[in-house]
Structure 1
Amino acid sequence: MTGWRQYRRPDDKSGGHGVGWSPIIPYSFKVPDGWQEVPVSIADLGGTEIDLRFASSKEGRLFVIVAPVRRFADIEGEAEIEMIGPPDKVISAFGPEVIGENVEGKVLSMEVAEHSGRKYYQFELEPPHVLITATAAGNRLYLFNVTGSGLQWKRHYKDLKQIADSFRVV
């Protein structure tokens, strides 16, 4: 098995997330060696809300969307994912943003995990093959998305799932 490394968003990294936003609370995740950060373009699907991209030509790719919570729910101050809604409401609201189409009939599984007192909603969708981990912190919704082609999914599902399960807001 190849080695793994931990990525942590630098505290001083800026993001194109508009005026008047608090700094983005750092997040972290693990990726196998060989995965590389890919520059983000505002022309990307998801535009300015994509904060980070990583990819491996062999295994797949991932991207992080950091969106204002107020776009999904009228919440002031410190947001928690449960305030936005239950998992089925959350995936219906933001899933189309991730996959570019309605998620109806595509959600294979939904789970709720808790780490250090923060809840994370985890989803598996197909087609397309994508694992989504969602949480809220500060005044933002964090969507961590891991995806791959059919062949990458078949060959590297275990690693892709491990990447998705490792996402944490610090």
Structure 2
Amino acid sequence: MVGARLATGRPRAPLAAKEDRAGARRSLASRAKASRTKSADDGTGDHSRRKALGLLATVGGGAGAFLGAGSSQAVQGMTAGRIPGLSPVDSDGFRTYSRPEGKMGGHGIGWSEIPNYQFRVPDGWKEEAVSIADLGGTEIDVRFAKDDEGQLAVVVAPVLRFMNVGFNADVRIEDIGPPEKVLNGFAPEILGGPVEDDDLLKEETMTKNLGGEPLTYYIWETKSHDLLSATAFKNRVFIIALRASGRQWRSAKDLLHTIQKSFVVDTSKVNYD
């Protein structure tokens, strides 16, 4: 389905002797204990750690980092997969990201043109590198992050991930199903597990319009500070997903909600064959 699993590590080289294996196990246990202590200090807890390991998982069933650690933040430039799309800073301290025509993201050559979409990001958020070689998979279109506020990714996936339709189908998210059905369809991959009723803080429906036909958007918020918005247009599903640690959430939750609700797909162009 949709998403891209966070990398869980590389294969370990064989150890030469029992002592080496025992030492490695002790070292791993020590690091795991330290990691649990740090997570507790951050206020994230076991549930958030489980979510973090699987958050925004498997785009097209591939393995890799959908929302990476932020070490490969990109300086915007005319490199493959990263074409500048940010506006100047507005009076509220936000920039508008508008998907540039011809951008490849992780899709590579051979994909038909993808409809433009927009969202707002606070000044200081940086676009991270996405390319066809990204371990996250081929359906990641763009990623942004800021260390002290959170991170986001946009997935553009074929409607066929959700329902059996023709190649040039013209689908809206209501055709896929109600919000709970759509969320249940991608939550195991995107969030690392199903979303139970007591995990969900908010589920709502909005109608927004950019340039043409209004579209319905499903919006969710979980207790683990996962913010998602999804819609469908033509033969693709568009999902923006944001993640924040407990510390980031306490300082930036209003900014993150603004990003989530600003996500909109341009419907002014109707022919994307």
TM-score by length of 2: 0.58
Structure 1 residues 43-77: Cα deviation after superposition (integer angstroms, max 9, x where no partner): 12xx2211110001111010001111011012331
- Of residues 83, 90, 95, the one that matches 2:187 is 95
Cα distance between partner residues in 1 of 2:164 and 2:258 = 33
Instruction: Point out where structure 1 has 5 or more consecutive residues left out of the alignment.
Output: none
Do the aligned partners of 1:75 and 1:83 also contact (CA within 8 Å) in 2? no
Q: Which residue of 1 aligns with 2:221?
A: 124
Quote the RMSD (CA, aligned, Å).
1.8
Q: Which residue of 2 aligns with 1:114?
A: 207
Residue 104 of structure 1 deviates from its aligned partner by: 2.3
- With over 3 angstroms needed to count, the CA separation of the structure-2 counterparts of 1:20 and 1:33, relative to structure 1, is closer
Q: Which has the larger radius of gyration?
A: 2
Instruction: Indicate conservation of the 8 Å contact 2:105/2:142, yes or no.
Output: no
Q: How many residues align?
A: 167
Displacement of 1:138 after TM fit? 1.8
Verify: 1:82 aligned to 2:168, yes or no.
Answer: no
Following TM superposition, by how much is the alpha carbon of 1:22 offset from its aligned partner in structure 2, in angstroms?
2.8
1:26 and 1:169 in contact (8 A); partners too: yes
In the alignment, the residues of structure 2 paired with residue 154 and residue 12 of structure 1 have an alpha-carbon distance, to the nearest angstrom, of 37
Q: 1:16 to 1:55 in 2, by over 3 A?
A: closer
Partners of 1:14 and 1:95 lie apart in 2 by: 25
Instruction: State the identity as a percent.
Output: 46
Per residue, is there more strand in 1 or in 2? 1
Q: Greater helix share, 1 or 2?
A: 2
Q: Is the 8 A contact 1:121 1:135 kept in 2?
A: yes
Q: 2:155–2:238: 8 Å Cα contact kept in structure 1?
A: yes
Q: Which runs of 5+ in 2 are unaligned?
A: 1-90, 267-273
Give 2:94's aligned residue. 4
Q: Where has structure 1 moved over 3 Å in runs of 4 or more?
A: 15-21
Using structure 1 for the length normalisation, give the TM-score. Answer: 0.91
